[in-house]
Structure 1
């Protein structure tokens, strides 16, 4: 059995954290009937983007500049996700409707909400989607995870060895 170098394990770990976050959201939605708002599904998209960036960096190892760009995009996307989670918590969750916010317009205009409704369907207003998990709002859990991913992504970049 071969083992991955530490930097590869870190990228795989980040990607798996992101896939895990989306799976928890889907279980919450489809098993526990916690309907997502536009900002919820927008954050799912960012988690999936980060996973693709991590695995893209691993796939592009032979092309160092491309691999580096994928790696550099990981913490940037995570910071964007943290901003989305903060906005959901601080602003959108106090609004009666998420209609016409950036997340709503993006998800609708991209066609993802209609094309993959089980994953990206907007089913609640931001106010209605304000729910807790273990006494902490989902948006705060997401914010914390995005910040952890950003730190891990920066750590990976700092420990990256040129080949």
Structure 2
């Protein structure tokens, strides 16, 4: 199998670069199109950053690679759940409890706290059920769901090789 020939360090480096590239792309898109990210969008951005840092740790600290793989898989599944929830909110906005109109939940409080400290990266100003951008008929939340599921599948490759 071709995946067995790829060094694990290259696997972790590719994942880290991919996640940091997604962050850069989201910030560039936000600036160019004047998009207003919602709390769930910003939380997903934070999860991409966490996956990138964990992948970088897996690249730099090879001793704990099973730990990094498990943590990346867990964060990717959390991100897929958040993106799926936002996808549902965008599909059925009349049923969705809109972010920022009720008492803030844990995610909204974390995003608010980060937005006050790092506004260029984490300031949430949009609504979770609105679709401000789409590509090939999919919203940013749809793409994020697919990417998080792809990261979870990507984690399975080195785990399968180790078995």
> TM-score with structure 1 length normalisation?
0.84
Q: What stretches of structure 1 of length at least 5 have no aligned partner?
A: none
* Matched residues, number: 153
Check the 8 A contact 1:36/1:124 in 2, yes or no.
yes
Check the 8 A contact 1:7/1:160 in 2, yes or no.
no
Distance 1:17 1:129 in 2: 24
Superposed structure 1 runs of 4+ greater than 6 Å apart = none
Q: CA deviation at 1:16?
A: 1.5
Distance 1:42 1:149 in 2: 17
Aligned to 1:104: 108
Deviations 1:1-54 (A, max 9, x none): xxxx52111111111221121112111111111110000000000001001111
Q: What stretches of structure 2 of length at least 5 have no aligned partner?
A: 1-5
Give the root-mean-square deviation of aligned CA atoms. 2.1
> TM-score with structure 2 length normalisation?
0.84
Distance 1:57 1:158 in 2: 17
Of 84-93 and 117-126, more deviation after overlay is shown by: 84-93
Check the 8 A contact 1:15/1:50 in 2, yes or no.
yes
Check the 8 A contact 1:92/1:98 in 2, yes or no.
no
Of 127-136 and 21-30, more deviation after overlay is shown by: 127-136
Aligned to 1:154: 156
Distance 1:101 1:91 in 2: 16
